[in-house]
A and B are shown apart, each in its own frame.
Chain A
Amino acid sequence: MNRFAELLDRLAYEPGRNNKLKLLTAYLRDTEDPDRGYALAALTGALSFKHAKPGLIRDLIMERTDPVLFGFSYDYVGDLSETVALMWPKVALAGHNNPPPPTLTEVVTRLRTLGKTELPTQLARWLDELDETGRWALLKLVTGAMRIGISARLAKTAAAALGEKDPHEIELMWPGLAPPYLDLFAWLEGRAEKPVNRDPAPFRPVMLAHAIEDADFVNLDPADFIAEWKWDGIRVQAVSGRDERGHLQARLYSRTGEDITKSFPDLLPSLHLPGAIDGELLVLRDGRVQTFNVLQQRLNRKVVSPKLIKDYPIHLRAYDLLGDDENDLRELPFEERRAHLESFIKKLADPRIDLSPTVPFADWPALTAARADPAGAGAGLDAEAVEGVMLKRRDAPYLPGRPKGQWWKWKRDPHIIDAVLMYAQRGHGKRSSYYSDYTFGVWTNGDAGDELVPVGKAYFGFTDEELLQIDRFVRRNTTEKFGPVRHVVHEPDQGLVLEVAFEGLQRSPRHKSGVAMRFPRINRLRWDKPPREADRLETLERMLKSVTAN
Chain B
Amino acid sequence: MAGLGPGTENNAFSGRWKRGSRGAWVAKHRDHTAYIGGMRPQDILMPVAAGLCCKPGGFHIDPVRPVERAIITHGHSDHARAGHGAVLATQETLDMMRLRYGDNFAGSTQAVRYGEEIRLGDIKVKLHPAGHVLGSAQIAVSCKDLCIVASGDYKDARDPTCAPFEIVPCDVFITEATFGLPVFRHGNAADEVKKLLASVALFPERAHLVGAYSLGKAQRVIALLREAGYDAPIYLHGAMEKITRYYESRGIALGDLRPVRGMKKAELAGTITLAPPTATSDIWTRRFLDPVTAFASGWMRVRARARQRGVELPLVISDHADWDGLTATIGLTGAGEVWVTHGQEDALVHWCKTKGLAARPLDLVGYGDEEETEAVLEGEEGGA
In the complex the two chains form, what is the Cα distance from A15 to B307 in whole Å? 11
Contact B351 A13 (CB under 8 A): no
Contact B181 A480 (CB under 8 A): no
A77-95 near B? 1/0 per residue, CB < 8 Å: 1110011001100000000
In the complex the two chains form, what is the Cα distance from A497 to B107 in whole Å? 67
Contact B187 A13 (CB under 8 A): no
In the complex the two chains form, what is the Cα distance from A68 to B347 in whole Å? 8
In the complex the two chains form, what is the Cα distance from A30 to B351 in whole Å? 44
A53-77 near B? 1/0 per residue, CB < 8 Å: 0000000000001101100110011
CB closest chain-A residue, reference B201: A26
Q: Known interface pairs A86-B185, A87-B182. Does A69 touch B351 (Cβ–Cβ under 8 Å)?
A: yes
In the bound complex, residues from chain A placing their C-beta under 8 Å from that of B187 are 131-132
Interface size on B, residues (CB 8 A): 28
In the complex the two chains form, what is the Cα distance from A75 to B350 in whole Å? 16
Contact B312 A77 (CB under 8 A): no
A83 → B minimal CB distance (Å): 6
CB closest chain-A residue, reference B300: A13
Contact B182 A73 (CB under 8 A): yes
Contact A79 B354 (CB under 8 A): no
B290-313 near A? 1/0 per residue, CB < 8 Å: 100000000001111011000111
Taking CB atoms and an 8 Å cut-off, the chain A residues in 13-27 that contact chain B are 13-16, 19, 22-23, 26
In the complex the two chains form, what is the Cα distance from A16 to B313 in whole Å? 13
B55 → A minimal CB distance (Å): 34
A271-306 near B? 1/0 per residue, CB < 8 Å: 000000000000000000000000000000000000
In the bound complex, residues from chain B placing their C-beta under 8 Å from that of A349 are none
Q: Known interface pairs A66-B351, A66-B354, A76-B181. Does A480 touch B346 (Cβ–Cβ under 8 Å)?
A: no
CB closest chain-A residue, reference B313: A13
B299 → A minimal CB distance (Å): 11
Q: Known interface pairs A13-B314, A72-B181, A73-B182. Does A19 touch B306 (Cβ–Cβ under 8 Å)?
A: no
A-B CB contacts (within 8 Å), total count: 67
- B183 interfacial contact with A, CB 8 Å: yes
B206, B304, B351: which contacts A78 (Cβ < 8 A)? B304
Contact A79 B182 (CB under 8 A): no
B360-378 near A? 1/0 per residue, CB < 8 Å: 0000000000000000000
- A12 interfacial contact with B, CB 8 Å: yes
Taking CB atoms and an 8 Å cut-off, the chain B residues in 332-384 that contact chain A are 344, 346-347, 350-351, 354
B225 → A minimal CB distance (Å): 19
A66, A72, A87, A480: which contacts B304 (Cβ < 8 A)? A480
In the bound complex, residues from chain B placing their C-beta under 8 Å from that of A79 are 303-304
CB closest chain-B residue, reference A78: B304
B185, B306, B346: which contacts A72 (Cβ < 8 A)? B346
B200-212 near A? 1/0 per residue, CB < 8 Å: 0011001000000
Contact B347 A72 (CB under 8 A): yes
In the bound complex, residues from chain A placing their C-beta under 8 Å from that of B301 are 86, 132
In the complex the two chains form, what is the Cα distance from A262 to B313 in whole Å? 44
CB closest chain-A residue, reference B191: A131
In the bound complex, residues from chain A placing their C-beta under 8 Å from that of B344 are 72, 76
Contact A26 B302 (CB under 8 A): no
In the bound complex, residues from chain A placing their C-beta under 8 Å from that of B306 are 13
B372 → A minimal CB distance (Å): 15
CB closest chain-A residue, reference B293: A13
Taking CB atoms and an 8 Å cut-off, the chain A residues in 219-248 that contact chain B are none
A10 → B minimal CB distance (Å): 8
Contact A73 B304 (CB under 8 A): no
Interface size on A, residues (CB 8 A): 28
CB closest chain-B residue, reference A18: B290
Contact B183 A76 (CB under 8 A): yes
A73 → B minimal CB distance (Å): 5
CB closest chain-B residue, reference A86: B183
In the bound complex, residues from chain B placing their C-beta under 8 Å from that of A83 are 183
In the bound complex, residues from chain B placing their C-beta under 8 Å from that of A66 are 350-351, 354
B177 → A minimal CB distance (Å): 11
Contact A12 B347 (CB under 8 A): no
Taking CB atoms and an 8 Å cut-off, the chain B residues in 175-208 that contact chain A are 181-185, 187, 195, 199, 202-203, 206
CB closest chain-B residue, reference A23: B202
In the bound complex, residues from chain B placing their C-beta under 8 Å from that of A480 are 304
B303 → A minimal CB distance (Å): 6
A6, A12, A15, A73: which contacts B183 (Cβ < 8 A)? A73
B220 → A minimal CB distance (Å): 21
A307 → B minimal CB distance (Å): 48
In the complex the two chains form, what is the Cα distance from A115 to B225 in whole Å? 47
In the complex the two chains form, what is the Cα distance from A13 to B199 in whole Å? 13
In the bound complex, residues from chain A placing their C-beta under 8 Å from that of B350 are 66, 68-69, 72
Contact A73 B290 (CB under 8 A): no
Contact B183 A87 (CB under 8 A): yes
In the complex the two chains form, what is the Cα distance from A150 to B354 in whole Å? 44
A489 → B minimal CB distance (Å): 15
Contact A76 B302 (CB under 8 A): yes
A101 → B minimal CB distance (Å): 14
In the complex the two chains form, what is the Cα distance from A65 to B185 in whole Å? 15
In the bound complex, residues from chain B placing their C-beta under 8 Å from that of A131 are 187
Contact A82 B351 (CB under 8 A): no
B96 → A minimal CB distance (Å): 32
A3 → B minimal CB distance (Å): 12
Contact A19 B303 (CB under 8 A): no
Taking CB atoms and an 8 Å cut-off, the chain A residues in 94-139 that contact chain B are 131-132
Q: Known interface pairs A19-B203, A69-B347. Does A12 touch B182 (Cβ–Cβ under 8 Å)?
A: no
In the complex the two chains form, what is the Cα distance from A10 to B302 in whole Å? 14
A348 → B minimal CB distance (Å): 52
B202 → A minimal CB distance (Å): 6
Q: Known interface pairs A68-B350, A69-B347, A86-B183. Does A22 touch B302 (Cβ–Cβ under 8 Å)?
A: no
Most buried by B among A13, A19, A76, A131: A13
In the complex the two chains form, what is the Cα distance from A445 to B203 in whole Å? 24
In the complex the two chains form, what is the Cα distance from A488 to B347 in whole Å? 29
A13, A16, A22, A87: which contacts B311 (Cβ < 8 A)? A13
B198 → A minimal CB distance (Å): 9
In the bound complex, residues from chain B placing their C-beta under 8 Å from that of A69 are 181-182, 347, 350-351
Contact B302 A13 (CB under 8 A): no
B116 → A minimal CB distance (Å): 38
In the bound complex, residues from chain A placing their C-beta under 8 Å from that of B314 are 13
In the bound complex, residues from chain B placing their C-beta under 8 Å from that of A65 are 182
Most buried by B among A19, A22, A23, A72: A72
Contact B290 A16 (CB under 8 A): yes
In the bound complex, residues from chain A placing their C-beta under 8 Å from that of B307 are 13
Contact A82 B303 (CB under 8 A): yes
In the bound complex, residues from chain A placing their C-beta under 8 Å from that of B354 are 66
In the complex the two chains form, what is the Cα distance from A457 to B226 in whole Å? 53
In the complex the two chains form, what is the Cα distance from A77 to B290 in whole Å? 30
In the bound complex, residues from chain A placing their C-beta under 8 Å from that of B185 are 86, 132
In the bound complex, residues from chain A placing their C-beta under 8 Å from that of B195 are 6
CB closest chain-A residue, reference B181: A73
CB closest chain-A residue, reference B199: A10
In the bound complex, residues from chain B placing their C-beta under 8 Å from that of A13 are 306-307, 311-314
A292 → B minimal CB distance (Å): 37
In the bound complex, residues from chain B placing their C-beta under 8 Å from that of A132 are 185, 187, 301
Which of A's residues lie within 8 Å of B, judged by CB? 6, 10, 12-16, 19, 22-23, 26, 65-66, 68-69, 72-73, 76-79, 82-83, 86-87, 131-132, 480
Closest CB pairs A-B (n = 3): A86-B183, A87-B182, A72-B347
**A-B contacts, 10 listed (Cβ < 8 Å):** A13-B314, A66-B350, A66-B354, A72-B344, A72-B350, A73-B182, A73-B347, A86-B184, A132-B301, A480-B304
A22-B202, A22-B203, A68-B347 known; 19 new pairs, CB 8 Å cut-off, are A6-B195, A10-B199, A13-B312, A13-B313, A15-B312, A16-B290, A19-B290, A23-B202, A65-B182, A66-B350, A66-B351, A69-B182, A69-B347, A72-B350, A76-B302, A79-B303, A79-B304, A87-B182, A132-B301
Which of B's residues lie within 8 Å of A, judged by CB? 181-185, 187, 195, 199, 202-203, 206, 290, 301-304, 306-307, 311-314, 344, 346-347, 350-351, 354
